[in-house]
Amino acid sequence: MTPDGLVLDINQRPLADAHLRREEVVGKPFTDLPAWSHDPAVQQQLRAAIARASRGETVRFEARIHPRTEMYLDILMTITSHRDASQQVEYLICAGRDITEHKHAEDELQVLLDAIPQLVWTRRPDGFVDYTNQRWRDYSPNTSTPKTNCRYCLMPSPNSSGPGDQTGLLTIRINAGATIPA
């Protein structure tokens, strides 16, 4: 596509998914194709990615697109620029990878993790809690969403009597190994 987002060429897969012919697409804004125009937020995300790629960035993002009304795909989109001999952005290259099956597997895992009776959470190496399951959220007040870089977190004590029992909460100091009663 051009740095302004006009389609220069397109492969057969997205055309087949949308039941379109090449001549219906070439020369048109990529953001106006049916797959992207169903949702203004997704369309804006694509516009922003095209603008960034036009400045020379490589941009990656996930989006749910609708090539046809009755069809959706979750894709991992990568947009990168191709520069000419004078290092000016000549055109953009877009590659979309279908991750629909991966997203279905993630959703199934989420249901499983929310159904098990154990507390489950994940933490990045920098200490940011990026996931808590439903059991964790039921037991831990004020943790409905993961906290960013918290130094202390509330966690149920093994002696806790169940959801809402704040007397059995422990304060855990992250990355320090010390446990201090609340």
pLDDT (tens digit per residue) in 101-113: 999 999 999 899 9
3-state secondary structure of 75: strand
Q: Which residue has the higher pLDDT, 80 or 143?
A: 80
Which residue segments constitute the domains of the chain, with CATH numbers given? 12-104 (3.30.450.20), 116-181 (no CATH)
> How would DSSP label each residue in 106-155?
HHHHHHHHHHSSS--EEE-TTS-EEEE-HHHHHHSTT-SSPPSS-SEEEE
pLDDT tens readout for residues 30-46? 999 999 988 999 999 99
The helix (run of H) or strand (run of E) holding residue 50 is helix 40-54
The answer to whether the CB of 134 falls within 8 A of the CB of 144 is no
Single-letter code of the amino acid located at 25 = V
Rounded Cα–Cα distance for residues 64 and 35 (Å): 9
Among residues 139, 133, 129, which one has the least CA distance to residue 168? 139
Instruction: Check whether 56 has a pLDDT greater than 60.
Output: yes
| Nearest alpha carbon to residue 77 among 56, 92, 90, 55 | 92
Q: What is the pLDDT of residue 69?
A: 87
Q: What pLDDT, in 10s, does the model give residues 151-170? A: 445 455 555 555 554 444 44
Which helix (H) or strand (E) element contains residue 54? Answer: helix 40-54
Cα–Cα distance measured from residue 145 to residue 92, given in angstroms and rounded to the nearest whole number: 37
C-alpha 42/C-alpha 74 separation (Å) is: 12
pLDDT of residue 122: 84
Find tokens 């740095």 and name the residue: 3
**Cβ(157)–Cβ(170) under 8 Å?**
yes
- d(CA 99, CA 161) in angstroms, rounded, equals 42
Query: Residue 128's pLDDT is what?
Result: 83
